[in-house]
Structure formats: C-alpha cells, structure tokens
C-alpha cells in the first residue's frame, strides 16, 4: 500500500486508518483525537476500532495500535490478534515484531550501555516461588518495585521495603500463580521526576517531566502525578536515541522513560505499544506523527 505524498491538501478518501483501542474505552483518547486530526489534514481517514471486538481488519489500509489498555490482562489473546493481522497482510504500526518484543520486561536488560543503566532486577517466572524478603536481603536492597513482567498503567505495581516484605509475601505468591513477576531495585531519584522523551518515526519530537504526587513514586495521572513539558539537553536526546536504535524494527511512535542519576540515565521503559504521547504539550507533535505514518507506511509497501 502506498499512502499519499506528504501534502496536507492531498485527498485520499480510500485510505482508512484504524486506531486500535479496547472495548472498555472504544473511542479515541483526547491525545489521539489530535493525532487523528493531523492525519485527516493529510487525507487519511481515522476510525477508532477496539482490538478485542471482531471486525474486518482488512477494510483498513493500516492499523495503528494506540489505546489497547487491557492487553496486559490478555497477553495470549493480544498476541494472537497481532499474528492474525500479520497473516492477513494488514499494515500495522508499530510492527508486530516490535510490539511482541516490548510486551515482556525482559527486553530491558540488553539495553544497558556506558551511560544508560537499567535497574537491577530479578525475574520470578509464573508458577515458581521466591521469597521477597530473601531477594531484598540477598541483593542488599532497601526497597524494590514489584510488578508483572507484562504490565501497563501501574497494574499490580507496588513498592516493597526490606522491613515490610514478609507482609506482602502471600499477595506476591498469588500474583506469581498468574504471571511472571519482576522484582526491581527502586530508583529513589524517581521522586524528583521521570523523563519521557517522545519520538515520531524515530526522530525526537518533545519531552515531558512527570512528577509523582507527595508520598508516591508512581507518576501516572490517575495516581495524582503531573506532567510539564521540558527541553532535554542533547546528551539526553542522544542517549534515548541510542536506546531506540536497539528496538528490533522501525517505529511510528516511541516513548523512552527514565531518570537522570548523576551523569547516567536510568532507563525505566521503552514504550512502543500504547503509551500516552503527551501530544497536547507540543503543537508540532501531531503533524510529525502523521508525516511519519505516511513516510513509514509508504516505505513498507515498496
């Protein structure tokens, strides 16, 4: 499929783009409406379509995974959906290989480099046993973040202290019955804010600093976190660009999250499935997204 040239006046009434949502929130998010408007200015027709509701995906020229916010609860079904779109030859962004790579937090460890660190972590496979108190004692961690290896929106994400680990053991054992769990050393500097750098088509777009509410370490807005646009220095952009270059495929959008610690950057996440892109913080971001969609999808069709 060849999408229209990069002109906001080019009509293309037959190019229908699905923004994949989910059945619990089937409509476009506020941010994604801005993206859809920018796509519309380039002649693309955007429709919201829940990934978990049957439809003829071949009726769309491309599918952009956006607010599939329940995928972590149904990872096998979500993977089957991705495989089906790939089998049907439906153009998908981000690509299936990139999405599958990003689903499980095991992707983080190989991304560490000279000036990019990842928090030390212990993976606890589903159905196995691990003592939280023992993990923290062995690693000499004062506190750790416990979360599913496939997770979103701070689901089952908790801070465990060395003194209180034994009180959460029974709850942790219930979680491990259902899924792989991650025990990750807490980065205390996160209380000063987490940086999120947005990339459109592999090119840096804009950045925000997310601040947790007092007494909290999680930065999600639903938990009282706030965000403000910032201008990162070139070193931060270069670090995050190098991280993104290790993703196994091209990206329409990506968000790189981390915390500056001294001269290093502690990488917390590379988000290429369903992140908020904070488009409302940067007027130019929506058009950069639309331009990248046209460029990448036209390239993939050749």
CATH number of the CATH domain containing 259: 3.30.470.20
- Contact indicator for 9, 44 with CB cutoff of 8 Å: no
Q: Which residues of the chain register pLDDT less than 70?
A: 1-14, 154, 214-225, 298-302
Write the DSSP assignment of 174-206 as a string of letters. HHHHHS-EEEEE--GGGGG-EEEEEEETTEEEE
pLDDT on residue 222: 60
Distance CA 248, CA 220 (A): 27
How many domains in the chain?
3
Q: State which of 131, 156, 186 marks the end of a domain.
A: 186
Q: State whether 160 and 128 are in the same domain.
A: yes
Q: For tokens 């007027």, name the residue.
A: 283
Residue 214 lies in a domain: yes
Span 138-166, pLDDT tens digits: 999 999 999 999 987 767 788 899 999 99
Q: State whether 112 and 239 are in the same domain.
A: yes
Q: State whether 144 and 55 are in the same domain.
A: no
Domain region containing 193: 108-116+189-279
SS3 133: helix
pLDDT on residue 193: 87
Span 8-45, pLDDT tens digits: 334 345 689 999 999 999 999 999 999 999 999 999 99
Distance CA 23, CA 81 (A): 14
Q: State whether 112 and 215 are in the same domain.
A: yes
SS3 29: coil
Handedness of CA 210, 66, 29, 40 (dihedral sign): positive
The bridge status of strand 62-65 relative to strand 92-93 is parallel
- Overall size of the chain counted in residues: 302
pLDDT on residue 7: 41
Q: State whether 233 and 181 are in the same domain.
A: no
Q: Tell me how far the alpha carbon of residue 194 is from its chain's centroid.
A: 14
CATH number at residue 180: 3.30.1490.20
Distance CA 220, CA 278 (A): 12
Residue 266 lies in a domain: yes
pLDDT on residue 14: 62
Q: Helix, strand, coil proportions of the chain in percent (round to 5)? A: 35, 25, 40
pLDDT on residue 158: 87
């Amino acid at each position: 499929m060849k999408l229209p040239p990069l002109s906001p006046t080019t009509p293309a009434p037959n190019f229908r783009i699905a923004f994949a949502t989910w059945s619990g929130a089937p409509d476009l998010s506020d941010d994604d409406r801005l993206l859809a408007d920018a796509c519309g200015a380039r002649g693309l027709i955007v429709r919201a379509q829940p990934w978990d509701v049957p439809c003829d995906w071949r009726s769309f020229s491309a599918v952009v995974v956006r607010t599939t916010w329940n995928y972590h609860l149904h990872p096998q079904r979500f993977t089957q959906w991705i495989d089906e779109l790939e089998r049907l030859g439906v153009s998908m962004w981000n690509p299936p290989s990139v999405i599958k790579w990003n689903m499980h937090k095991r992707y983080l460890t190989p991304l560490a480099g000279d000036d990019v660190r990842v928090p030390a972590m212990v993976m606890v496979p589903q159905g196995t046993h691990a003592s939280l108190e023992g993990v923290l004692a062995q690693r000499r961690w004062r506190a750790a973040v416990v979360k599913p290896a496939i997770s979103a929106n701070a689901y089952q994400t908790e801070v465990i202290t060395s003194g209180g680990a034994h009180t959460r053991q029974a709850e942790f054992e219930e979680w491990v019955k259902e899924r792989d769990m991650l025990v990750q050393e807490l980065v205390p500097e996160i209380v000063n804010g987490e940086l999120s750098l947005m990339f459109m088509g592999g090119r840096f777009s804009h950045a925000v600093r997310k601040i947790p509410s007092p007494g909290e370490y999680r930065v999600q807005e639903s938990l009282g976190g706030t965000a403000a646009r910032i201008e990162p220095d070139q070193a931060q952009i270069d670090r995050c660009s190098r991280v993104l270059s290790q993703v196994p495929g091209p990206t329409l959008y990506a968000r790189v999250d981390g915390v500056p610690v001294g001269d290093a950057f502690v990488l917390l996440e590379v988000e290429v499935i369903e992140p908020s892109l904070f488009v409302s913080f940067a007027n130019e971001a929506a058009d950069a997204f639309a331009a990248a969609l046209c460029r990448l999808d036209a390239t993939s069709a050749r």
